[in-house]
Structure 1
Amino acid sequence: MAAVDLSTHPGHLARRLQQAHYLLWNTMVSEEITSPQFAVLNALAEEPGLDQRTVGERVGLDRSTIAEVISRLGRRDLLDKVRDPQDGRRFLLRLTEDGARVHRRLVVRTARMNQVFLAPLDPGERTVFLDLIRRVADAAEGLRNPEEPLVGRPS
């Protein structure tokens, strides 16, 4: 059997893209704060007081991953958990002063990294590229949420 052309396999290309992102993240943004951790900080900067489940939904992390990310950020004193006064079983999350400071610093660094990451594309191509990968990523959420039908899934 002949080898396949992996340059036509989206998963292979997505993995290569992720490797490039990881390299740029560690060299240009942070070796201490991961991209998923930054996503959580960013979500809480935008909407302080979200609960863990909602933050996970906002940033596309499953339950076990969001729990670990929040635990790590809490241990670094970048976020606080406060009991929800309306539902004592729930905790609401807020950035600490250090968390807000780290977020502000990383926002600048991620903007620079994204410029480098997207440098091979002209502005119009960047818009199309981001739209296309957003659409694929949004559709892929259905793989994790069986309640939501996948595009093209037989009924």
Structure 2
Amino acid sequence: MKALSRSVAPASTAARSATRQGKPLEDANTLAPEMAGFRLLKLTNLMTRPFFGQFAKQHSLTLNEWRSIVVLASRPGSAAQDISASTGLHPMNISRAVIALRKRGLVEEARDPDNHRRMLLWLTTAGDALFRTIAPHSEAQNKLLFDVLEAEELAAFARTLEKLTTRAEEITRDE
């Protein structure tokens, strides 16, 4: 019986796989590695590999900590909630990242004068130095990735990403 199920399973898997291969992106609602969400996740994972290989261990930095640093470098005085909104990461993950960055002296905070419950965050000199060390490598990798697109394709991709991000924010707003 086991031998029979082994011989049947690969054939049915192969048949399913064959029908999905070459499937256009607009058919991406089927739960499979070809679906748009999986493909975006794959792209994100491929883009973060160099961070783990080159910078994470060297600087004792998590990806969420790095993403928080990137937001604070471009938007000093943001609150943790702002970092969460900018990155799409869960607030608890950002909270942990900010605590770790504070403990390492990479981030400093001050109360928001307009809302005393909010803490505003800035990179310290050490945090800014770390950003300036890693950022050129990230920017170069980003350039290598997007150099394959023509200006019109890049603009269309940016519009599509914005549209999908806005929709995802609407869908997850109450979660």
TM-score by length of 1: 0.75
| Bigger share in helix | 2
CA distance in 2, matches of 1:49, 1:122: 35
1:100-115 matches, within 5 Å, as: 100-115=128-143
Superposed displacement of residue 34, structure 1: 4.4
**Partners of 1:38 and 1:135 in 2: how far apart?**
25
AA aligned opposite 1:129:
F
Aligned residue number for residue 22 of structure 1:
48
- Find the counterpart in structure 2 of residue 125 from structure 1: 153
Moved over 6 A (4+): none
Query: Does residue 37 in structure 1 map to residue 65 in structure 2?
Result: yes
SS at match of 1:116: helix
Matched, 1:5 2:20: yes
> Quick check: which has more Rg, 1 or 2?
2
Distance 1:16 1:43 in 2: 22
Q: Name the SS of the counterpart of 1:121 in structure 2.
A: coil
Q: Root-mean-square deviation (CA), in Å?
A: 2.7
How far residue 64 of structure 1 moved from its aligned partner, in angstroms, is 1.0
- The aligned residue for residue 152 of structure 1 is none
Take 2:87 and 2:71, find their aligned partners in 1: how far apart are those partners?
Answer: 7
Report the Cα offset of residue 35 of structure 1.
4.4
Moved more, 77-86 or 65-74: 77-86
Q: Which consecutive residues of structure 2, in runs of 5 or more, have no partner in the other structure?
A: 1-11, 26-34
Residue 69 of structure 1 and its aligned partner are, at CA, apart by 1.6
1:37 shift after superposition: 2.7
Aligned counterparts of 1:96 and 1:80: Cα–Cα separation in 2: 6
2:45 partner amino acid: Q
Residues matched between the structures, number? 146
Match of 2:169 in 1: 141
Structure 1 runs not aligned, ≥5 long: 148-155
Q: Which has the higher contact order (CA 8 A, sep 6+)?
A: 1
Structure-1 residue corresponding to 2:3: none
Relative to the length of structure 2, the TM-score reads: 0.67
Q: Deviations over 1:8-57 (max 9, x none)?
A: 411221232122112233346x2244444333223222332222222322
Distance in 2 between residues matched to 1:75 and 1:138, nearest whole Å: 34
Q: Structure 1 residues 26, 128: closer, same or farther in 2, change over 3 A?
A: farther
CA distance in 2, matches of 1:25, 1:117: 15
The percentage of counterpart residues that share the same residue type is 22
